[in-house]
Amino acid sequence: MDRNRQTGQPLNRPNDTLKLPTLPPSARLPFNRCNLPAVILGSLTYQKHPVPLEIDGIQDFHADLFRTLAGFPSHPERAQRFQDYMTVNFLLDELDEAGLTPGRGRKARANANYPRLVRGWSFDSDGREGAVLKRWVESRFGLLARHHAGSLLDRDGEAYQRYLTEGTRGLYATNALESQLDLLYTYCQYELAREFPDRAHLRLYRGINRMDEHEIQETCDDGLHRVLFNNLNSFTSHRERADEFGDYILEAEVPLPKVFFYNRLLPGMLKGEDEYVVIGGVYEVDIATL
Protein backbone atom coordinates (compact mmCIF):
# COMPACT_ATOMS: atom_id res chain seq x y z
CA MET A 1 0.00 0.00 0.00
CA ASP A 2 1.44 3.38 -0.98
CA ARG A 3 1.91 5.59 2.10
CA ASN A 4 3.23 8.97 3.06
CA ARG A 5 6.72 8.35 4.43
CA GLN A 6 6.27 10.88 7.24
CA THR A 7 2.73 10.08 8.43
CA GLY A 8 2.42 6.43 7.41
CA GLN A 9 -1.05 7.16 6.00
CA PRO A 10 -2.27 5.82 2.65
CA LEU A 11 -1.68 7.99 -0.39
CA ASN A 12 -4.54 8.69 -2.75
CA ARG A 13 -3.79 7.44 -6.23
CA PRO A 14 -5.04 9.50 -9.21
CA ASN A 15 -8.77 9.23 -9.86
CA ASP A 16 -9.23 6.84 -6.90
CA THR A 17 -12.40 8.58 -5.81
CA LEU A 18 -13.96 7.93 -9.22
CA LYS A 19 -13.74 4.14 -8.95
CA LEU A 20 -13.96 3.27 -5.25
CA PRO A 21 -16.63 0.60 -4.68
CA THR A 22 -19.56 1.47 -2.51
CA LEU A 23 -21.25 -0.76 0.05
CA PRO A 24 -23.62 -3.24 -1.69
CA PRO A 25 -27.33 -2.76 -0.91
CA SER A 26 -27.44 -6.28 0.56
CA ALA A 27 -24.91 -5.24 3.22
CA ARG A 28 -26.69 -2.18 4.58
CA LEU A 29 -29.90 -0.80 6.01
CA PRO A 30 -31.57 2.35 4.62
CA PHE A 31 -31.47 3.99 8.06
CA ASN A 32 -29.30 4.05 11.18
CA ARG A 33 -28.74 6.12 14.31
CA CYS A 34 -25.55 8.02 13.54
CA ASN A 35 -24.49 11.06 11.55
CA LEU A 36 -23.62 9.26 8.28
CA PRO A 37 -25.69 6.78 6.26
CA ALA A 38 -24.41 3.23 5.97
CA VAL A 39 -23.73 3.57 2.26
CA ILE A 40 -21.08 6.18 3.08
CA LEU A 41 -19.56 4.95 6.33
CA GLY A 42 -19.33 1.41 4.96
CA SER A 43 -17.64 2.44 1.71
CA LEU A 44 -14.01 2.40 0.65
CA THR A 45 -14.17 6.17 0.31
CA TYR A 46 -14.77 6.38 4.05
CA GLN A 47 -11.77 4.18 4.77
CA LYS A 48 -9.59 6.60 2.86
CA HIS A 49 -11.25 9.82 4.05
CA PRO A 50 -12.81 9.20 7.49
CA VAL A 51 -14.70 11.75 9.53
CA PRO A 52 -15.95 11.35 13.12
CA LEU A 53 -18.99 9.13 13.71
CA GLU A 54 -21.48 10.11 16.39
CA ILE A 55 -24.39 8.04 17.63
CA ASP A 56 -27.46 10.27 17.83
CA GLY A 57 -27.76 12.19 21.08
CA ILE A 58 -25.10 10.41 23.13
CA GLN A 59 -22.60 13.27 23.39
CA ASP A 60 -25.31 15.74 24.38
CA PHE A 61 -27.10 13.45 26.82
CA HIS A 62 -23.87 12.55 28.64
CA ALA A 63 -22.14 15.92 28.27
CA ASP A 64 -21.44 16.13 32.01
CA LEU A 65 -19.40 12.91 31.85
CA PHE A 66 -17.13 14.19 29.12
CA ARG A 67 -16.67 17.55 30.80
CA THR A 68 -15.60 15.67 33.92
CA LEU A 69 -13.23 13.37 32.01
CA ALA A 70 -11.47 16.39 30.54
CA GLY A 71 -10.22 17.26 34.00
CA PHE A 72 -8.37 13.97 34.53
CA PRO A 73 -4.85 13.93 33.04
CA SER A 74 -4.21 10.18 33.01
CA HIS A 75 -5.95 7.38 31.12
CA PRO A 76 -6.37 5.10 34.21
CA GLU A 77 -8.13 7.91 36.09
CA ARG A 78 -10.50 8.56 33.20
CA ALA A 79 -11.18 4.85 32.75
CA GLN A 80 -12.10 4.49 36.42
CA ARG A 81 -14.32 7.56 36.26
CA PHE A 82 -16.07 6.16 33.18
CA GLN A 83 -16.69 2.80 34.84
CA ASP A 84 -18.03 4.50 37.96
CA TYR A 85 -20.35 6.61 35.81
CA MET A 86 -21.65 3.51 33.99
CA THR A 87 -22.30 1.74 37.28
CA VAL A 88 -24.27 4.66 38.69
CA ASN A 89 -26.05 5.80 35.52
CA PHE A 90 -27.26 2.31 34.59
CA LEU A 91 -27.77 1.08 38.17
CA LEU A 92 -25.48 -1.88 37.54
CA ASP A 93 -25.08 -2.55 41.27
CA GLU A 94 -28.72 -1.74 42.11
CA LEU A 95 -30.67 -3.99 39.79
CA ASP A 96 -33.83 -3.90 41.92
CA GLU A 97 -34.05 -0.16 41.35
CA ALA A 98 -33.46 -0.78 37.65
CA GLY A 99 -36.61 -2.93 37.60
CA LEU A 100 -35.13 -6.43 37.70
CA THR A 101 -37.52 -8.61 39.68
CA PRO A 102 -36.65 -11.90 41.41
CA GLY A 103 -37.07 -14.98 39.29
CA ARG A 104 -35.39 -17.82 37.46
CA GLY A 105 -33.58 -15.56 35.03
CA ARG A 106 -32.35 -13.04 37.57
CA LYS A 107 -28.74 -14.21 37.67
CA ALA A 108 -28.39 -14.33 33.89
CA ARG A 109 -29.96 -10.89 33.46
CA ALA A 110 -27.79 -9.44 36.24
CA ASN A 111 -24.73 -10.38 34.18
CA ALA A 112 -26.11 -8.84 30.97
CA ASN A 113 -24.03 -5.68 30.92
CA TYR A 114 -21.35 -4.08 28.78
CA PRO A 115 -18.33 -5.77 30.47
CA ARG A 116 -19.97 -9.18 30.02
CA LEU A 117 -20.57 -8.50 26.32
CA VAL A 118 -16.99 -7.41 25.71
CA ARG A 119 -15.59 -10.44 27.53
CA GLY A 120 -18.01 -12.73 25.71
CA TRP A 121 -16.89 -11.35 22.34
CA SER A 122 -13.26 -11.94 23.21
CA PHE A 123 -14.03 -15.54 24.17
CA ASP A 124 -16.32 -16.38 21.22
CA SER A 125 -17.44 -13.78 18.69
CA ASP A 126 -20.00 -16.28 17.34
CA GLY A 127 -21.72 -16.67 20.73
CA ARG A 128 -24.74 -14.91 22.17
CA GLU A 129 -22.73 -11.85 23.19
CA GLY A 130 -21.37 -11.58 19.66
CA ALA A 131 -24.90 -11.71 18.25
CA VAL A 132 -25.96 -8.84 20.52
CA LEU A 133 -22.97 -6.74 19.48
CA LYS A 134 -23.56 -7.38 15.77
CA ARG A 135 -27.23 -6.50 16.14
CA TRP A 136 -26.16 -3.28 17.89
CA VAL A 137 -23.91 -2.39 14.94
CA GLU A 138 -26.82 -2.99 12.59
CA SER A 139 -29.06 -0.66 14.59
CA ARG A 140 -26.56 2.14 15.17
CA PHE A 141 -24.52 2.11 11.94
CA GLY A 142 -26.80 0.33 9.48
CA LEU A 143 -24.22 -2.31 8.54
CA LEU A 144 -25.71 -5.78 8.27
CA ALA A 145 -23.93 -8.78 9.77
CA ARG A 146 -22.52 -11.12 7.12
CA HIS A 147 -21.42 -14.02 9.28
CA HIS A 148 -22.29 -15.48 12.68
CA ALA A 149 -21.43 -19.15 13.19
CA GLY A 150 -22.11 -19.47 9.46
CA SER A 151 -23.05 -17.32 6.51
CA LEU A 152 -26.00 -14.96 7.06
CA LEU A 153 -26.53 -14.20 3.38
CA ASP A 154 -29.56 -16.51 3.22
CA ARG A 155 -32.18 -14.64 5.26
CA ASP A 156 -34.35 -17.77 5.31
CA GLY A 157 -31.52 -20.04 6.41
CA GLU A 158 -30.97 -21.69 9.77
CA ALA A 159 -27.84 -19.66 10.57
CA TYR A 160 -29.67 -16.36 10.14
CA GLN A 161 -32.65 -17.46 12.22
CA ARG A 162 -30.30 -18.62 14.98
CA TYR A 163 -28.51 -15.28 14.84
CA LEU A 164 -31.77 -13.37 15.27
CA THR A 165 -32.82 -15.62 18.14
CA GLU A 166 -29.52 -15.25 19.99
CA GLY A 167 -29.47 -11.49 19.54
CA THR A 168 -33.04 -11.13 20.76
CA ARG A 169 -32.53 -13.37 23.77
CA GLY A 170 -29.32 -11.55 24.63
CA LEU A 171 -31.20 -8.24 24.84
CA TYR A 172 -34.35 -9.52 26.54
CA ALA A 173 -35.03 -7.96 29.97
CA THR A 174 -31.65 -6.22 30.10
CA ASN A 175 -30.94 -2.86 31.66
CA ALA A 176 -30.62 -0.49 28.66
CA LEU A 177 -27.88 -2.72 27.28
CA GLU A 178 -27.75 -1.06 23.87
CA SER A 179 -27.47 2.34 25.53
CA GLN A 180 -24.53 1.03 27.54
CA LEU A 181 -22.86 0.07 24.25
CA ASP A 182 -23.63 3.51 22.79
CA LEU A 183 -21.75 5.16 25.62
CA LEU A 184 -18.90 2.63 25.53
CA TYR A 185 -18.32 3.40 21.84
CA THR A 186 -18.49 7.15 22.47
CA TYR A 187 -15.99 6.90 25.31
CA CYS A 188 -13.69 4.79 23.11
CA GLN A 189 -13.72 7.54 20.50
CA TYR A 190 -12.99 10.14 23.16
CA GLU A 191 -9.91 8.24 24.35
CA LEU A 192 -8.64 7.54 20.83
CA ALA A 193 -8.88 11.24 20.00
CA ARG A 194 -6.79 12.07 23.07
CA GLU A 195 -4.22 9.34 22.40
CA PHE A 196 -3.89 9.98 18.64
CA PRO A 197 -4.81 13.66 18.09
CA ASP A 198 -3.00 13.89 14.75
CA ARG A 199 -3.93 10.53 13.24
CA ALA A 200 -6.93 9.32 11.26
CA HIS A 201 -5.99 5.61 10.97
CA LEU A 202 -4.41 2.72 12.82
CA ARG A 203 -2.54 -0.01 11.00
CA LEU A 204 -4.09 -3.24 12.23
CA TYR A 205 -3.81 -6.94 11.38
CA ARG A 206 -6.22 -9.86 11.24
CA GLY A 207 -5.19 -13.49 11.06
CA ILE A 208 -7.57 -15.95 9.38
CA ASN A 209 -7.48 -19.56 8.20
CA ARG A 210 -10.02 -19.45 5.36
CA MET A 211 -10.25 -16.76 2.73
CA ASP A 212 -13.65 -18.02 1.55
CA GLU A 213 -15.22 -16.60 4.71
CA HIS A 214 -14.27 -13.09 3.53
CA GLU A 215 -15.94 -11.43 0.57
CA ILE A 216 -13.27 -10.18 -1.82
CA GLN A 217 -14.90 -7.65 -4.13
CA GLU A 218 -11.87 -6.83 -6.27
CA THR A 219 -8.16 -7.49 -6.66
CA CYS A 220 -6.34 -4.32 -7.66
CA ASP A 221 -3.47 -3.96 -10.10
CA ASP A 222 -1.08 -3.24 -7.22
CA GLY A 223 -1.95 -6.55 -5.53
CA LEU A 224 -4.19 -5.08 -2.86
CA HIS A 225 -7.66 -6.52 -2.25
CA ARG A 226 -10.94 -4.79 -1.64
CA VAL A 227 -12.78 -6.83 0.97
CA LEU A 228 -16.28 -6.56 2.42
CA PHE A 229 -15.84 -7.38 6.10
CA ASN A 230 -18.42 -8.58 8.58
CA ASN A 231 -20.07 -5.70 10.45
CA LEU A 232 -17.85 -6.34 13.52
CA ASN A 233 -14.38 -7.91 13.51
CA SER A 234 -11.36 -8.54 15.73
CA PHE A 235 -7.99 -7.11 14.72
CA THR A 236 -4.68 -6.77 16.51
CA SER A 237 -2.07 -4.04 16.56
CA HIS A 238 0.80 -6.59 16.38
CA ARG A 239 1.43 -8.60 13.24
CA GLU A 240 3.17 -11.33 15.23
CA ARG A 241 -0.02 -11.78 17.24
CA ALA A 242 -2.09 -12.11 14.07
CA ASP A 243 0.21 -14.95 12.96
CA GLU A 244 -1.21 -17.06 15.79
CA PHE A 245 -4.74 -16.96 14.37
CA GLY A 246 -4.31 -18.20 10.82
CA ASP A 247 -2.28 -18.74 7.70
CA TYR A 248 -3.43 -15.51 6.05
CA ILE A 249 -2.66 -12.08 7.46
CA LEU A 250 -4.88 -9.15 6.46
CA GLU A 251 -3.29 -5.72 6.96
CA ALA A 252 -5.56 -2.68 6.89
CA GLU A 253 -5.49 1.02 7.62
CA VAL A 254 -8.49 1.23 9.96
CA PRO A 255 -10.17 4.61 10.49
CA LEU A 256 -10.16 5.57 14.16
CA PRO A 257 -13.96 6.17 14.15
CA LYS A 258 -14.45 2.49 13.25
CA VAL A 259 -12.81 1.23 16.44
CA PHE A 260 -15.60 0.16 18.79
CA PHE A 261 -13.40 -1.09 21.62
CA TYR A 262 -9.77 -1.97 22.32
CA ASN A 263 -8.30 -3.91 25.22
CA ARG A 264 -6.37 -1.03 26.78
CA LEU A 265 -9.50 1.12 26.93
CA LEU A 266 -10.60 -0.24 30.31
CA PRO A 267 -7.62 -1.70 32.18
CA GLY A 268 -8.30 -5.01 33.85
CA MET A 269 -11.39 -5.90 31.80
CA LEU A 270 -9.50 -8.19 29.42
CA LYS A 271 -6.16 -9.98 29.69
CA GLY A 272 -4.73 -9.08 26.30
CA GLU A 273 -3.41 -5.67 25.34
CA ASP A 274 -3.54 -5.63 21.57
CA GLU A 275 -7.05 -6.56 20.39
CA TYR A 276 -9.17 -3.99 18.55
CA VAL A 277 -12.84 -4.61 17.79
CA VAL A 278 -13.50 -2.92 14.46
CA ILE A 279 -16.72 -1.94 12.68
CA GLY A 280 -16.87 -3.41 9.18
CA GLY A 281 -17.69 -2.34 5.65
CA VAL A 282 -15.45 -2.25 2.58
CA TYR A 283 -11.70 -2.06 3.20
CA GLU A 284 -8.64 -2.11 1.00
CA VAL A 285 -6.22 -4.61 2.53
CA ASP A 286 -2.94 -6.32 1.90
CA ILE A 287 -3.15 -10.11 2.22
CA ALA A 288 -0.03 -12.07 3.07
CA THR A 289 0.47 -15.80 3.62
CA LEU A 290 2.76 -17.42 6.18
CA distance 87 to 133: 20
* Band (269; pLDDT cuts 50, 70, 90): confident
Give yes or no for residue 110 having a pLDDT over 70. no
Helix runs in 71-176, H state only: 75-89, 106-110, 114-123, 128-141, 158-171
CA distance 64 to 59: 9
Q: Are 122 and 205 in contact (CB under 8 A)?
A: no
Rounded to 5°, the CA angle 278-283-289 comes to 90
- For residue 122, give every residue at least 6 positions away whose Cβ sits within 8 Å of its Cβ, in sequence order, or none: 234, 270, 272, 275
The pLDDT, as a whole number, for residue 30 is 96
* Band (107; pLDDT cuts 50, 70, 90): low
CA distance 133 to 156: 21
- Mean pLDDT, the chain, rounded, equals 88
The pLDDT, as a whole number, for residue 99 is 56
- What pTM value is reported for the model? 0.89
**142/220: higher pLDDT:** 142
Give yes or no for residue 76 having a pLDDT over 80. yes
User: pLDDT tens-digit profile of 117-166?
Assistant: 999 999 999 999 999 999 999 999 999 999 999 999 999 999 999 999 99
Give yes or no for residue 231 having a pLDDT over 80. yes
Which of the residue ranges 78-87, 156-165, 218-227 would you say has the lowest mean pLDDT? 218-227
CA 53 to mean position of chain CA atoms:
12
What is the arithmetic mean of pLDDT over 277-281?
98
* Band (48; pLDDT cuts 50, 70, 90): very high
